[in-house]
A = this chain, B = another copy of it.
């Protein structure tokens, strides 16, 4: 990175994305519930207050060395390092679907950004910025402030400024688009695994799933959550940015383990046109989690990747430099598909999962 200038051009109040302001009063609503591209919060001033609240709570998390223009205009303006490509991903969290209804907004905000940044890690990218579209039916100032505080904490942790967004009224839905940069041609994908490559996974698997199954997601703030606990694995995922960046030129295929290791390995196999052979006993499992449940559970945001055996030493060095365990859990072959074993015997995870 390292850009010469960074003017955040602002004169007036910097709303995330102003809508519905103006001198027209409430008036007859154009189209009633049938349409009309304006939000229907309790009043227009409510919406302005909420936008101001969110931008205030984000604080310095809207600025960064790549940010030429942050929140408050029709769009944000960002600068990429020279000879780099842009990496873009979008993710949506729906209340009651991707996080428990009524969950603490600070934790929802942190997690919403972290899970999207994890996609940048899987591409070997450095974060540049994010935009956030927040839809909620009844968005109080208190909820909005706590949500923004949590998101700002993640923005600082992962150096991913929040440069714009949108507010809308509807069922709770948080849509985050993240932007990163990679040196031209160096992005990691799912498509280049080869037969003979080793298969690795970072960290431990199953902590987030254990927290979900055990109903351990009741913390009310970031400071309530022990980062290394099962709940911490769910609410405060730590995208493997440093490892992803070091895997450029080392890994042949990389994916973030968001759907569950078992599913994500299939994605690599399908995208690369190879198969793999994995022993459940080699998977590093979060303490207290059943291995078969762990590899099916998802929400862990570790990286799974493949690499030629010639890179085994480099991968050990990366584990050492990043102080993160990286385990070899299997090998790629000509297929078909992903075959699981336990103690050498073939197993079916679907069956295993039901029986355990």
A-side residues, CB < 8 A to B, are 9-13, 17-25, 27-28, 30-31, 33-40, 68-69, 72-80, 82, 85-101, 115, 119-120, 122-123, 125, 128-129, 131-133, 135, 163-166, 168-171, 173, 175, 177-180, 182, 184, 187, 189-192, 209, 212-213, 215, 217, 234, 254-256, 258-260, 262-267, 270-273, 295-299, 337-338, 340, 348-351, 353-354
**CB <8 Å contact, B89 and A75:** yes
Complex CA gap A135/B93 in Å reads: 9
Measured in the bound complex, the distance between the Cα atoms of B87 and A68 in whole Å is 10
Stoichiometry, copies per complex: 2
> Is the pair B73, A271 in contact by a Cβ cutoff of 8 Å?
yes
The smallest beta-carbon distance between A63 and chain B, in angstroms, is 15
A92 interface neighbour in B25, B27, B88, B168, Cβ under 8 Å: B168
Apart from the given pairs A23-B262, A24-B263, A88-B164, 20 other A-B contacts in the complex at a CB distance below 8 Å: A19-B258, A19-B259, A21-B266, A21-B267, A22-B296, A25-B350, A27-B353, A36-B212, A36-B299, A37-B115, A68-B187, A75-B120, A75-B123, A77-B187, A78-B88, A90-B165, A92-B168, A98-B168, A173-B173, A173-B175
Take A173-B135, A271-B72 as given contacts and tell me if A24 and B77 are in contact as well, using a CB distance cutoff of 8 Å.
no
- In the complex, which residues of chain B have a beta carbon less than 8 angstroms from the beta carbon of A125? 75
Residues of B close to A34: CB separation below 8 A: 96, 100-101, 212, 215, 217
Check B173–A170 contact: CB distance below 8 A.
Answer: yes
